[in-house]
Structure 1
Amino acid sequence: MGALLDQKYERLFSLLDVNGDGVIAEDDFVLMADRVRASFGEERTAAKGQRYADEMLNYWHALRATADTDGDGRIDKSEFRQAVRHVSDNFDTLIGPLYEAGFHFADRDGDGLVSRDEFAAVVAAIGVPEGDAGATFERLAGGADGTLTLARLMTAATQYYCDEDPANSASHQLFGPL
């Protein structure tokens, strides 16, 4: 793994460790899903929020199946670095559905577009400083109407997990500056 991917994975690990205990576990994914839903005042039972929470747990289970080499139900940084590349190589089936669910959750009116405020609310809820979330949106949106499409988000997310080309700086900063 190259230095750029290592930096991105380090940033991702820090976000996934929601409770800050130095490991990631199922409770971190539950906490994150709850924070994202709360950012829009959505109850656990609402369909969009439930889909997002389900995909968070699917992502956790896929990651755990690959990364939890000692079987303790927790993933430390070493296990994470060794396994995240495998999970990234299966982006479409293991990671993509989470990003798609997050996009549809943020798209409050169901028009297929996410506004700056909607995007920033979700990304800030996962732990990215609000100013960085807004700046990330500006880099990703690219449209004259100031909205983000699912296709642009999925391209950026794929590049975040898999791309080491420094020229793709917008996607490398999906979760704020490295």
Structure 2
Amino acid sequence: MAIDLLDHKLDRAFDHIDADGDGEIDREDVLGLGARILVGFGESPTSVTGSRIVDGFDGIWRSLAEALDRDGDSRLSREEFRAGMTWAFVSGDRYDQVFRPTTEALAELADTNGDGLIGPREFRTMITAFGAAYDDVDEAFDRLDRTGRGTLTTDELVLAAWQYYCLDDPHATGNWLFGPL
């Protein structure tokens, strides 16, 4: 049953990237997600932070394509994406080298005043760029804010992303990253 949970979360992640809904993702789809996030925060892709995010999403794409694009068509189906994410980031060793730095860059971008905290407005900007339902964002934030202080630390956001993408624990707080499953 836990594998079903992880598959469900990875399928949702696929849908975040496959903005046109054609059932496949390519490099432009992955970079497009990064671009939507940058636009939401008014950040240039050529700034230091913007470059980290663009480079991070490109690194995620390269890892997935390297693992799975055997036919060289530079496109991944939902099943290929799920298998690639599992191979590279869940059971593989690429999470810390590729995925975590991208997540950290996203958390830093969402920390608009540099105080190490992300408020509900910044969280909403980031999560809706991923395609999360607008109505689910407040509940997601409240679930991730386990202390009830009205903010998330950048470390809490990075941990939530790791839990979402890598854990099959149905009780992990990070399962709420994009709203209810």
Task: Show the counterpart of 2:31.
Answer: 30
Residues 30 and 56 of structure 1 are in contact (CA less than 8 Å); yes or no, is this contact kept in structure 2?
yes
Q: Does 1:64 align with 2:65?
A: yes
Given residue 176 of structure 2, which amino acid in structure 1 is its aligned partner? Answer: Q
TM-score by length of 1: 0.90
> How far does the alpha carbon of each residue in 1:40-87 deviate from its partner, in whole angstroms, 9 at most, with x for none?
222333322222122111111111111223221111112112221122
Task: Show the counterpart of 2:110.
Answer: 106
1 CA distance for matches of 2:137 and 2:88? 25
Given residue 166 of structure 1, which amino acid in structure 2 is its aligned partner? Answer: P
How far has the Cα of 1:108 moved from its partner? Answer: 0.9
Task: Show the counterpart of 1:79.
Answer: 80
1 CA distance for matches of 2:46 and 2:98? 24
Q: Does 1:8 align with 2:9?
A: yes
Runs of 4+ off more than 4 Å: none
Aligned-residue Cα RMSD (Å) equals 1.7
Unaligned runs of 5+ in 2: none
Residues 127 and 137 of structure 2 are in contact (CA less than 8 Å); yes or no, is this contact kept in structure 1?
yes
Residues 136 and 178 of structure 2 are in contact (CA less than 8 Å); yes or no, is this contact kept in structure 1?
yes
Matches within 5 A, 1:138-153: 138-153=142-157
Residues 8 and 161 of structure 1 are in contact (CA less than 8 Å); yes or no, is this contact kept in structure 2?
yes
Matches within 5 A, 1:47-62: 47-62=48-63
SS in 2 for 1:2: helix
Q: How many matched pairs?
A: 177
SS in 1 for 2:70: coil
Residues 16 and 29 of structure 1 are in contact (CA less than 8 Å); yes or no, is this contact kept in structure 2?
yes
Task: Show the counterpart of 1:155.
Answer: 159
Task: Show the counterpart of 1:124.
Answer: 128
> How far does the alpha carbon of each residue in 1:107-136 deviate from its partner, in whole angstroms, 9 at most, with x for none?
111111111110110110121122222221
2:96 is matched with which residue: 83, 88, 92? 92
Q: Does 1:133 align with 2:134?
A: no
How far has the Cα of 1:28 moved from its partner? Answer: 0.7
TM-score by length of 2: 0.89
